[in-house]
Amino acid sequence: PYSKHIKGKIRELRVDFGRNKHRIFYFVFIEKNIVLLHAFLKKTPKTSIAEIEKTGENYYNVLKNLKIYE
């Protein structure tokens, strides 16, 4: 698996199983905890805007509800 920066604190974990390309968006949270924001099976060469927008929504939902994750 490989990881790359997407935007702000959000990173993308790339996991390939044969022809299947899985993508997991995540960020590192308080004290090195990892929060998985969104995962999908990538079917095109470029990640769709919708997948990135969904990840952004989930990221802001986590930040709005910090008490749940403490």
Q: What is the pLDDT of residues 52-69, one digit of tens each?
A: 999 999 999 998 987 776
Q: Domains in the chain: how many in total?
A: 1
**Which residues span the domain enclosing 33?**
2-69
The larger pLDDT score, comparing residue 65 to residue 38, is at: 38
- R_g of the chain computed on alpha carbons: 13
pLDDT-derived band at 5, boundaries 50, 70, 90 = very high
* pLDDT higher than 90, residue 33: no
Identify which of 20, 27, 24, 56 has the alpha carbon closest to the alpha carbon of residue 40: 24
pLDDT-derived band at 1, boundaries 50, 70, 90 = low
Q: What is the pTM (predicted TM-score) of this model? A: 0.85
